[in-house]
């Protein structure tokens, strides 16, 4: 009995960008899955290990979640709820 079982191969590494900032990067095949900034090489190695194990637990067959998108913040000029004028409340005594 031969079963066609495909398993995902996750690779993680600590990378340094041109500005000197360290990143923990998770790859599946040739696609970047996740990228997080880390403070030191030691913390980066630890984070990469956790990222690889979490990805293998959550997506063992390689079915990846959609790529993470960057959220764009839109400036809103509406007042915050605490800035609304409060009406004088009438309390029954």
Q: Is residue 40 part of a domain?
A: yes
In a domain, 72, yes or no: no
More confident: 40 or 8 = 40
Range of the domain at 47: 1-56
Confirm if 15 and 8 have CB atoms less than 8 A apart: no
- Tens digit of each residue's pLDDT (9 = 90 or more) over 15-48: 999 999 999 999 988 889 999 999 999 999 999 9
Q: Does residue 9 sit within a domain?
A: yes
Domain count, the chain: 1
Tell me whether residue 76 is in a domain.
Answer: no
Q: How many CB atoms lie within 10 A of CB 24?
A: 23
Environment class of residue 55 by beta-carbon count within 10 Å: exposed (0-12), middle (13-18) or buried (19+)? buried
pTM assigned to the model: 0.60
């Amino acid at each position: 009995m031969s079963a066609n079982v495909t398993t995902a191969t996750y690779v993680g590494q600590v990378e340094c960008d041109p500005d000197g900032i360290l990143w923990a990067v998770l790859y599946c095949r040739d696609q970047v899955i996740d990228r997080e900034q880390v403070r030191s090489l030691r913390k980066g190695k630890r984070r990469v290990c956790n990222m690889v194990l979490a990805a293998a637990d959550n997506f063992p067959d390689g079915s990846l979640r959609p790529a993470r998108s960057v959220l764009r913040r839109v400036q809103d000029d509406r007042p915050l709820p605490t800035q609304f004028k409060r009406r004088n409340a009438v309390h029954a005594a």
